[in-house]
Structure 1
């Protein structure tokens, strides 16, 4: 198998595990674990394939992706209680998955369109949308609303991969550079609390106040 296939499987498994961890925090049954694992694991790639016009989407063409998500869900169902801090593991697994999946998404976008801009966008979408769906379904504070840098890490990783690839580097070198860049930004944000300046002026009016 090629490097990109390994990245695809790794990203799916990691994001599926974060979905299952979110299910454990809600004390769901095994079916709930599997549902969260599948939606989180396949969400970003599904949106990417639809945008690129690649239908049927990847997990329909290759059901093994669903099997990977189910395995991750079952493993977490029987082991999550051993973890002292599930949310901390969730966000760090999410960071690793983001780093792998932003490169995979960028590679698929580049192969489909030849456009570096589209590659960066599909890389960011692939790496972040599954986590957004997971938090929405679990009614958890969205990763987008956390103060630490998130989407920017995916943009950096896919941008570095695309740039290094454009310089003629081998795919594994470009992939390694992209993964390390994305994880460094996201990991640094989690460890050191890196943030961007926020909007400081008066917030917008509540919709009920406008009527």
Structure 2
């Protein structure tokens, strides 16, 4: 098994991969153990080569993740299109101040040091922190400042938040759709919308 793991690491597949040797069934591991070293390396290299060539099954087997459509490798450098695909898949918006297209060269260079799994974790953390009410992360992920009395982008929002937004768009308390005058059903519909 140590030899199988050593070859796996030698071809640069990751322990997250579905074919990481300790994850194999006994029969699958025995099949690999029966190969001579040259054949074993060739077999494992074929998994890596197919993964890097775009085979989604082998990407899962080698890396434990399927590359986003415009991502061509597990490790950097990553194109802006690749970064954007991951950014948006994690729920952040192109309006966010840290959307990949808006990054400085230094910020992109830092992301190029991360592999695809680390990028997913990084971008998901930004969104999770934003959804937790971190004002800086809301700006980075969604591209807006939380209005007073609002504590998340997605909601549910309080009546106080709805009133703040009502006033920010310069509507008046006397207005027919003033949040405090809404039926529960109408207010609930607004409470569950995202801020935009």
The TM-score, its normalising length taken from structure 2, stands at: 0.26
Query: Greater relative contact order: 1 or 2 (C-alpha under 8 angstroms, separation 6 or more)?
Result: 1
**Which has more helix, going by share of residues?**
1
Higher Cα radius of gyration:
2
